[in-house]
Structure 1
Amino acid sequence: MPLHSSLSLPREGFTIDVLGRILKHTALNPVITLPLLLLARFTQKGQGLTGAHPKLLKHVKTLLYLGLADRISAWLDRNAANNWTRDDTWDWTETGNELVVVTGGSDGIGKEIVLQLAARGIRVAVLDIQAPTWADDATDNLPTVHYSHCDLSSPPSIDAALADVRTHFAGREPTVLINNAGVCFGKPLLESSPHLVRKTFAVNTLAHFDLAQRLLPSMVARDHGMVVTVASQAAFVAAPLLADYAASKAAALALHEALAAELATVYNAPRVRTVAVCQNYTRTRLFEGFKEGDGWVNYTLHPQTVAEAVVGKVLEGSSGLVVLPAAGWWVSAKVRGWPLWMQVGLRKRCVELMQGWRGRVVEQGREEEEDGAEKEGEEKAA
């Protein structure tokens, strides 16, 4: 299951991101514009051409400077995110010690992450309250994958699942934690019960704390490991009917940012990597019925596309922020810098997104039962 090439047309079709990549590899590529500039300045034909078209040289210079600025900025981003350090100890071979824990790996984006890692023979432990759906793709023969039933809202359940993982993998400590699991109930604030709000934060945010506190000590001790936070663009733009979901994802993103700084400054573990993935609407059962984007800037993602971005960062062994679609970096991620009237207008327009939502609600264990009992009691009282 090879990763999509950055030069191939994605599953989502021709979008503004594809156009951006074409421009980056052509008009904004210094490898192309620098030779053109030199030819224009130091060859007879080039001088004749620029003499006849004086603005041409100016345009080539502008493209060269923009391309250089983009690459210098990306270089600074990459090195700053990785604390100006390299970690060449990653070993994804069968004899290596790498072990990836994926929460919510039974379906959706998590399932695709598991399949892509397993296709490379990488050891994967799946923590999920759902039974795996891998057999749906006739790929149930995954010898390097182990599933542990886990209610991520319950710390004792997390402890039991991690104990099972360590036993199955002969005492190996996980070196990569992918916090992918998420729940969404899609209710207006006043119609959402306290239990559902707590459940949303328990799975989408608090489980990140619980797992990090249990798995980070071994990563810090070896100065080797990675924590991946699958957040959402809802962390940047809070839409109506998604108040609890957006708040939980914003909290998860804040945890990622604070953790990245703590690893370098408090724990002296600059080689433990942190990755945040903020994806837009993805075609999974969790968000079935969610209003699809315009197909150009704000387009709908396939779960395989998001999984490829996650797996790509894991195999790179590098920290970073991944925003999908990439154009979302210039829209969603920048919203808080917009004038207030634009922010307010955008959030109000987002009420349309959830009008047709009929996403799957995963069985949630004891708290959902309590919530049901609470509702039943209220109905009897009424």
Structure 2
Amino acid sequence: MWTSREGFTADVCGWLIQKTLLSPWKTLPLLLLAQFTSHGREIAQQHPKLHYTLHGLASLAVIHRLNAWTNHKVLNNGVSDQYDWTRETVVLTGGSNGIGRHIALLLTKRGITVAILDIEPPTKETEDGDKIHYYECDITSPDAIASAATDIRSSLGTPTVLINNAGVCTGQTILSGTEAQTRRLFEVNTFSHYHIVREFLPALITANHGMVVTVSSQSGYTTAPNMVDYSASKAAAVAFHEGLAAELRTRYHAPRVRTVLVAQGFTRTGLIRNLTPEDTWFNPLLEPETVAEAVVDTVIKGRSGRVVVPGTSGWLACNIRSLPLWMQHWTRSRLERLMRAF
């Protein structure tokens, strides 16, 4: 990851730091040499500030690794599971275009069967994949989903992975948007998640195996003017993911059913065609392939978790509510210029 499609960005620097300064496999041996060898102690005495810095970096590296390990154990309920990707079937909403299209292509390249639910047929490139099956479906309609589910089960078997990816964005202020636009946006970005899991999740619970991927957005954490409805719908998707993960363990007793939350930044798709998001070193405008690869890499691992891209600005977005109120308000006000429709 020396470079990326987006060029040399803050994420590349962050990756280098994690592989060097925040790697316990690199800092701990140096610290042990400095403390338990005569030559190391001599250098530590001659350069005390360097020794203190090394001690701090080693401590941070260990804490960082322990935190990642704890997150993994807790989010996966302390149990492991095996996936045979030659036998798993993925249901993917909004898979005909944008990020969803690339997710479908990447999955099928690994030999995984994908059932696309979309109101538009996939592109010729996507449709040609022998593992991709398209089902015309309005995901805002539970009846349409039930009909498509019947066809999927009869032809492909019982799906085991659900990827709620479909999304729409209006780019309207609160007063300029219409009731119909707002309702449609929430039906696609939020309510469809409930419709999909109500149809397919019971089979996953019975088998105690499978995965639900919720594609939200960093906007679900950071509300921006000119797209309050979108931010609100994505915040609801974040809450849906969190509540589903807890219910799977406590109410449905299916600890092996995995949950993944995707919080991506703005991406070069038709979703933002009327907006003007920034494209900077710290917060680059993403290519859809970048997001799709991050999603598929996580799905293939068969573990619960969270996908945040870009990672650097995404970390700030996901933790913005821990900042002082004046900083939160200043950030949202600044976003108005970036999210202003043409």
Identify the TM-score tier after normalising by the shorter chain. Answer: over 0.9
Aligned residue for 1:189, secondary structure, equals: coil
User: Match for 1:293 among 278, 296, 302?
Assistant: 278
Partner of 1:188: 173
Aligned residue for 2:275, secondary structure, equals: coil
| 2:171 corresponds to 1:178 | no
**Shift in Å at residue 202 of structure 1?**
0.7
**Shift in Å at residue 167 of structure 1?**
2.5
Matches within 5 A, 1:355-366: 355-357=340-342
- Give unmatched runs, 5+ long, in structure 2: none
Aligned residue for 2:175, secondary structure, equals: helix
| 2:12 corresponds to 1:18 | yes
**Shift in Å at residue 9 of structure 1?**
1.9
- CA distance in 2 between partners of 1:241 and 1:59 (Å): 45
**Shift in Å at residue 356 of structure 1?**
4.2
**Shift in Å at residue 211 of structure 1?**
0.7
Give me the TM-score of the superposition, normalised by structure 1: 0.86
Matches within 5 A, 1:33-182: 33-88=27-82, 90-93=83-86, 96=87, 98-133=88-123, 135=124, 138=125, 140-169=127-156, 172-182=157-167
Aligned residue for 2:22, secondary structure, equals: coil
Which of 1 and 2 has greater Rg?
1
Number of aligned positions between the proteins = 342
**Shift in Å at residue 349 of structure 1?**
1.6
- CA distance in 1 between partners of 2:44 and 2:339 (Å): 55
Aligned residue for 1:321, secondary structure, equals: strand
Letter in structure 2 aligned against 1:321: R
Matches within 5 A, 1:232-247: 232-247=217-232
Give me the TM-score of the superposition, normalised by structure 2: 0.96
Contact 1:292/1:299, CA 8 A, preserved across alignment:
no
**Shift in Å at residue 194 of structure 1?**
1.3
Aligned residue for 2:319, secondary structure, equals: helix
- CA distance in 1 between partners of 2:176 and 2:265 (Å): 25
- CA distance in 1 between partners of 2:266 and 2:111 (Å): 30
Contact 1:281/1:290, CA 8 A, preserved across alignment:
no
Partner of 1:201: 186
Letter in structure 2 aligned against 1:163: T
**Shift in Å at residue 246 of structure 1?**
1.0
Aligned residue for 2:116, secondary structure, equals: strand
Aligned residue for 2:260, secondary structure, equals: strand
**Shift in Å at residue 329 of structure 1?**
4.1
- CA distance in 2 between partners of 1:244 and 1:186 (Å): 9
- CA distance in 2 between partners of 1:66 and 1:186 (Å): 41
Q: Which piece of structure 1 moves more, 63-72 or 341-350?
A: 341-350
- CA distance in 1 between partners of 2:256 and 2:142 (Å): 28
Partner of 2:238: 253
Contact 2:171/2:274, CA 8 A, preserved across alignment:
no
- CA distance in 2 between partners of 1:173 and 1:81 (Å): 25
- CA distance in 1 between partners of 2:237 and 2:36 (Å): 55
Aligned residue for 2:219, secondary structure, equals: helix
Partner of 2:267: 282
Aligned residue for 1:190, secondary structure, equals: coil
- Give unmatched runs, 5+ long, in structure 1: 1-6, 358-382
- CA distance in 2 between partners of 1:342 and 1:48 (Å): 46
Contact 2:27/2:57, CA 8 A, preserved across alignment:
yes
Q: Which piece of structure 1 moves more, 54-63 or 268-277?
A: 54-63
- CA distance in 2 between partners of 1:139 and 1:163 (Å): 23
